[in-house]
A = this chain, B = another copy of it.
Amino acid sequence: MKGKKTDWSAINCAIARSLSAIGDQWSILIIRDALAGARRFGEFEKRLGLAKNILAARLKKLVDEGVMETRPTAGGGYREYVLTAKGEALFPVLVALWQWGEKFAFAEGERTLAMVDRAKHEPIPPLEVKAHDGRAIGPRDYTSVRIGGA
């Protein structure tokens, strides 16, 4: 990010705060790989092809944000990086990015990885924003209200 460094964690917008925690592109790919089972520094390094110092900084930030935590392995030889509950709760964000990319960022017939239900091997249906009564909510069907605060 260029220009004036904005402290988005101080802004009252939940999207800006989420981006402050995990908005770096590498961070999202680290979370992707952690969801797919990566745990060791070397695994992330190999999957991402990322320089050690950059990977270390991203992992540290994710730990500082409470998205990941480190644990000693059973043998004690390594430390592993695993998603916390807060980190696993990012699953819908990753699914939404995956589904959008699958739909709009590949040419017809181009090779891609589709997300399928592990039990039945069927494609995961697109995420839908819905109201409590099941009505579809589109970009023109929501509004925002202030809650909390003094």
Contacts and interface: CB of A to CB of B under 8 A. Distances in A.
Given A122-B132, A124-B137, A116 B145 contact: yes
**Interface footprint category on A:** 35 or more
Interface stretch (A18-26, A38-46, A72-80): A18-26
Interface of A: 1-4, 6, 8-9, 12-21, 23-26, 28-29, 32, 35-36, 49-51, 54, 66, 83, 86, 88-106, 109-133, 135, 137-150
17 contacts: A3-B51, A21-B101, A23-B25, A36-B144, A92-B96, A92-B129, A96-B127, A112-B149, A115-B144, A116-B143, A116-B145, A118-B142, A119-B135, A121-B145, A124-B130, A125-B132, A127-B127
